[in-house]
Amino acid sequence: MSAPTSPADLFRHSLRLLLDKDIPAWVALWAEDGLMEFPFAPGGWPGRLEGREAIAAYMRPYPDRIDLHDFPALTIHQTTDPGTIVVEMRGVGRLVETGAPFDMTYIAVVTVRDGHITSYRDYWNPLAAPAAGTGFAGSSR
């Protein structure tokens, strides 16, 4: 299979990798100097991850924390910048440690250049995190 070319296709591919728990392949979609931001991150949570290695370290424990089953609601909006999309999505599954349901809604602004994610601004709801037991992708606090 050839690499996805459009930002929307690359993003859909990234979600399949998350469902497959293939974190190394998911991280490989990122530019070396990629930037992941969490504008609404509460104190004690990372607000900014700079570079592929920092993003890899953040995502490494993801499969041990969240068993994602599906993204049942996914809407991708094109912007006037052909490399940038706005994504509305919902991730559902279960928390590995407790078996409790996981259900989180996200809005993200994602920029792709030269086939790699260069920026991912994740507007997840920190007020929902205590109920879900986690933030984006099961990050550590």
CATH assignment of the domain containing 118 = 3.10.450.50
141 in any annotated domain: no
Average pLDDT, the chain: 89
How much is the pLDDT for 37? 97
pLDDT band (50, 70, 90) for residue 129: low
2 in any annotated domain: no
The stretch 75-82 carries a mean pLDDT of 98
83 in any annotated domain: yes
138 in any annotated domain: no
**Domain range holding 89?**
7-133
Say how many domains are in the chain: 1
50 in any annotated domain: yes
How much is the pLDDT for 3? 61
125 in any annotated domain: yes
32 in any annotated domain: yes
The stretch 95-113 carries a mean pLDDT of 94
How much is the pLDDT for 131? 52
Beta strands in 9-115 (DSSP E): 30-37, 48-50, 66-78, 84-95, 101-113
The stretch 58-74 carries a mean pLDDT of 94
98 in any annotated domain: yes
How much is the pLDDT for 140? 38
pTM of the model: 0.86
